Amino acid sequence: MPPPVDLLLLKAMQPSVMDALARAFTVHRLDQVRDREAFLDEAGPRIRGLAVGAQAPVDEALLARLPGLEIVASLGVGYDTVDVRAAAARGVVVTHTPDVLNEEVADLTLGLLLATVRQIPQADRYLRSGRWSERSFPLTTTLRGRRVGILGLGRIGHAVARRLDGFGVAIAYHGRHAQEGVGYEYHPTLLGLAQAVDVLIVVAPGGPGTKGLVDAAILAALGPDGILVNVARGSVVDEAALIAALKEGTIRSAGLDVFAGEPHVPAELVALDQVVLLPHVGSGTDQTRAAMGQLVIDNLVSWFGGHGPLTPVPETPWRGAR
Ligand code: 8YV
């Protein structure tokens, strides 16, 4: 039997994934070594696989220390923290975990939207604080009659739109292209979309191509009754512009599962009572995280079994040869 493949982890993953990886590979943990540089000098050349969560960056500097690396298996559909161009230039395949989280993230998105519109966490806080006996919770705005815009009608965006269909709201979208066979109204510009809707749901991937797309002008176009929901990446929204828009009443509220500098959340956002803030839990259930973890394992096992990656990212397509 060939010796087990040396696999590097930047941080721990959930226990079931760690156990499965330990059974199939010789696992090294970069977050547990005392001297990172000495470890990379000694073991770096032996490492053939890298398994990462979406929040641990894989940059050119790290890749350069791993000259024998063949595959980066990333947990999560978004892979903006992996420098895929640098990986591609080195012939390293990058995989992610699409599809297995679509419905879970879409469920959370609708929950966050309703929580934001109907102020559900605020109402919960109100009851717990004993104020109900003094007077009824203030009336809120409604989802009824609203027009919802989706920025990024990809796999998760479609799952969100399917749910919104059931809520009887008008749906429109913006992306690079109009999608054939899709009945929702398409807007070739984000500004046009923002002008046409009063709820904007961000489901677009992060990275340099979408950085700061939702800026002061987009928020102003949403209008004073506007609601922003972001379940994608904090980087897609200009956070300072959002805070200003919320403080000044340029938009009504926001439901955010993601932030620019996670896990740091600006104190100014936390201080705003009308917003609903979640600690990046879109895919965060036992079941879906297990499915995502399994796909990380399956990609690695398939690759080192000589069968290629299962779900490579488009930037490092698998053409059947190294
Ligand atoms: C996860 C995510 O929280 O899939 C993604 O892109 O943002 C989330 O599902 C994250 O990837 C886990 O590391």
The whole domain housing 35 covers: 6-100+286-304
Does the annotation count 233 as an active-site position?
yes
Task: Verify that 131 and 236 share a domain, yes or no.
Answer: yes
Ligand 1 touching residue 280 (CB < 6 A): yes
Is a pLDDT exceeding 60 seen at residue 237? yes
319 part of a folded domain: no
Catalytic-labelled residue, pool 187, 233, 252, 289: 233
| CA 281 to ligand 1: nearest atom | 3
Give residue-wise pLDDT tens across range 88-146: 999 999 999 999 999 999 999 999 999 999 999 999 999 999 999 999 999 999 999 99
- The reported pLDDT for the residue numbered 319 is 80
Nearest-angstrom CA–CA distance, 24 and 1: 13
Contact present, 199 and 170 (Cβ < 8 Å): no
Q: How many CA atoms lie within 13 A of 53 on its CB side?
A: 15
56 part of a folded domain: yes
Domain total for the chain?
Answer: 2
- The reported pLDDT for the residue numbered 320 is 80
320 part of a folded domain: no
Task: Verify that 119 and 152 share a domain, yes or no.
Answer: yes
DSSP 44: G
Task: Verify that 209 and 245 share a domain, yes or no.
Answer: yes
Report, as an integer, the average pLDDT of 32-45. 96
1 part of a folded domain: no
Task: Verify that 22 and 133 share a domain, yes or no.
Answer: no
318 part of a folded domain: no
Does the annotation count 42 as an active-site position?
no
Does the annotation count 185 as an active-site position?
no
Is a pLDDT exceeding 80 seen at residue 2? no
- The reported pLDDT for the residue numbered 54 is 66
Task: Verify that 156 and 86 share a domain, yes or no.
Answer: no
Q: Give the full edge-to-edge strand order of the sheet including 47-53.
A: 26-29, 6-9, 47-53, 71-75, 93-95
Give residue-wise pLDDT tens across range 242-254: 999 999 999 999 9
Q: Measured in angstroms, how far is the CA atom of residue 263 from the centroid of ligand 1?
A: 13
| CA 78 to ligand 1: nearest atom | 6
Report, as an integer, the average pLDDT of 144-166. 98
Give the strand pairing for 170-174 and 6-9. unpaired
Task: Verify that 294 and 273 share a domain, yes or no.
Answer: no
246 part of a folded domain: yes
Task: Verify that 233 and 290 share a domain, yes or no.
Answer: no
Give residue-wise pLDDT tens across range 116-130: 999 999 999 999 999
Which of 105, 283, 286 to probe ligand 1 with, by most ligand atoms within 8 A of CB? 283
- The reported pLDDT for the residue numbered 53 is 87
Q: Measured in angstroms, how far is the CA atom of residue 209 from the centroid of ligand 1?
A: 19
Task: Verify that 63 and 136 share a domain, yes or no.
Answer: no
User: b/e map of 39-65 (b: 16 or more CB within 10 Å)?
Assistant: bbeebbeebbbbbbbbebebeeebbeb
pTM of the entire predicted model: 0.96
321 part of a folded domain: no
**Backbone phi and psi for residue 40, each to the nearest 5 degrees, phi listed first:** -65, -35
Residue 180 belongs to domain with CATH number: 3.40.50.720
Is a pLDDT exceeding 90 seen at residue 321? no
Task: Verify that 91 and 147 share a domain, yes or no.
Answer: no
Task: Verify that 141 and 68 share a domain, yes or no.
Answer: no
Report, as an integer, the average pLDDT of 278-294. 97
230 part of a folded domain: yes
Task: Verify that 232 and 122 share a domain, yes or no.
Answer: yes
Average pLDDT of the chain to the nearest whole number: 96
Residue owning the nearest CA to atom 4 of ligand 1: 76
Q: Quick one: which H or E segment has residue 143?
A: none
Task: Verify that 124 and 271 share a domain, yes or no.
Answer: yes
